[in-house]
């Protein structure tokens, strides 16, 4: 089931999208919001797979709302204005629905999203974890990677790059979310939308950045509290 929220400042349009979500078997409506500011608060405490977002809204338009999120869910934009289409795809929107939206058009976009999530779930089969190693599919090989040799993992759109201590990085066709779900959370932490770090490998923290050799990995606002709790827990006083 794909967990969704809907955001639109027009109550009638919001109810329509909500009703479309509820009648689609593979979608689940978690919440609806007339203001993106309320949605920001919700997203800070809840995980969502997919958002249906209107663009023209007061206070904060839908495009700026999405850009403000550190690690946004997948997005389908809904709007009455076609000129935003190109900008929408620049923020990796899955689709762009022009109002008025009929159910057939909505379902076509939703099926596109379902295919993407099904593909992500199938990719989980490419990665299997144990207490101290991973099997990773890279190009035409399956490689065994020891967790104690992983320094950090870098997200690159549909790929991730696994940086190791004594070898060249490994590229694999996976999402950061898929990798994160398979890693032991007592050793690895997501500190940014584009980075997961091996906590046991951290030797230097400088100005809210983790330093690996000459690489500076930022700790984002969304993950700052959790990371600081880890530091405090292990701080010598």
Residue 126 pLDDT more than 80? no
Which domain-ending residue is among 104, 123, 142?
A: 123
Does residue 29 share a domain with residue 8?
A: yes
Does residue 21 share a domain with residue 113?
A: yes
Residue 206's contacts (CB-CB under 8 Å, 6 or more residues apart) are 216
The answer to whether the beta carbons of residues 4 and 42 sit under 8 Å apart is no
When mean pLDDT is compared across 13-17, 74-78, 128-132, 230-234, the lowest value belongs to: 128-132
Mean of the pLDDT values across residues 15-32? 96
Domain residue limits at 110: 2-123
Task: State the pLDDT at residue 110.
Answer: 97
Q: Which of 93, 106, 98, 29 is nearest to 63 (CA)?
A: 93
Does residue 116 share a domain with residue 226?
A: no
Task: State the pLDDT at residue 166.
Answer: 84
Compare 189 and 142 and report the one with higher pLDDT. Answer: 189
Q: How would you list the strands of the sheet with 128-129, edge to edge? A: 128-129, 133-138, 141-146
Q: Which of 57, 51, 64, 30 is nearest to 95 (CA)?
A: 51
Does residue 147 share a domain with residue 112?
A: no
Task: State the pLDDT at residue 128.
Answer: 54
Distances (CA, A) of 202 to 114, 162, 178, 219, 230: 38, 16, 23, 13, 12
Mean of the pLDDT values across residues 30-36? 96
Q: How far apart are the first and last CA of the chain?
A: 47
CATH number, position 168: 2.40.50.1020
Which domain-ending residue is among 95, 123, 151?
A: 123
Residue 118 pLDDT more than 60? yes
Residue 9 pLDDT more than 90? yes
Domain count, the chain: 2
Mean of the pLDDT values across residues 106-114? 96
């Amino acid at each position: 089931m794909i967990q969704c929220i809907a955001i639109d400042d027009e109550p009638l349009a919001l109810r329509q999208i909500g009703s479309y979500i509820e009648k689609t078997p593979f979608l689940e409506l978690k919440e609806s919001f007339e203001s993106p500011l309320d949605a920001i608060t919700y997203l800070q405490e809840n995980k969502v797979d997919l958002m249906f977002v209107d663009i023209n809204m007061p206070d904060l338009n839908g495009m700026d709302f999405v850009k403000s999120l550190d690690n946004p869910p997948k997005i389908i934009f809904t709007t009455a204005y076609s000129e935003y289409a190109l900008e929408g795809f620049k923020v990796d929107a899955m689709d762009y629905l022009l109002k008025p939206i009929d159910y057939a058009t909505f379902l076509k976009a939703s099926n596109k999203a379902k295919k993407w999530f099904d593909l992500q779930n199938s990719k989980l089969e490419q990665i299997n974890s144990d207490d101290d190693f991973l099997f990773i599919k890279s190009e035409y090989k399956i490689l065994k990677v020891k967790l104690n040799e992983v320094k950090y993992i870098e997200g690159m759109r549909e790929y991730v790059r696994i940086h190791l201590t004594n070898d060249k990085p490994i590229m694999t066709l996976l999402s950061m979310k898929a990798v994160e779900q398979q890693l032991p959370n007592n050793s690895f932490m997501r500190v940014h939308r584009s980075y997961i770090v091996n906590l046991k490998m951290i030797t230097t923290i400088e100005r809210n950045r983790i330093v690996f050799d000459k690489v500076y990995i930022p700790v984002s606002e969304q993950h700052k509290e959790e990371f600081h709790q880890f530091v405090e827990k292990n701080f010598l006083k």
